Structure 1
Amino acid sequence: MSDYTTVSLKKEFVSDVEAYIEDEPFGSPKEFIKHLVIREMESEDGISDDEARDIGQKLRELGYVE
């Protein structure tokens, strides 16, 4: 049994991430996204519930989240 799960992302989003990290030291969008999530989880600044809702709404409007 695998210790991993799958997260589905729109191909357009992944392409945008690939273009963004082209000159960065990340080997793949997966590595970059993992880095961002860990950094955010370890951050003491965090975001408010209202900010999280706003971000979620913007991602839905852009079609990244259903």
Structure 2
Amino acid sequence: MADQNDKTTRQDRTSRDDRLKSALRENLKRRKAQARERSASVDPSQNEDGSLNEGAAGEAGK
């Protein structure tokens, strides 16, 4: 009887591990796609170095 419980527990664990692997893989794919979209769209309010583009207002303060 203990052997049957061990098999069931092992099968449950394997099934759970497979589901977790699939979920993690899908999550990684989604995050990579989001990162590609963010890097493809350039934010016009920031310069190449990441600082904010203050325009004329920033020059007036100098």
Structure of greater Rg? 2
TM-score of the two chains, using structure 1 as the length reference: 0.28
TM-score of the two chains, using structure 2 as the length reference: 0.29
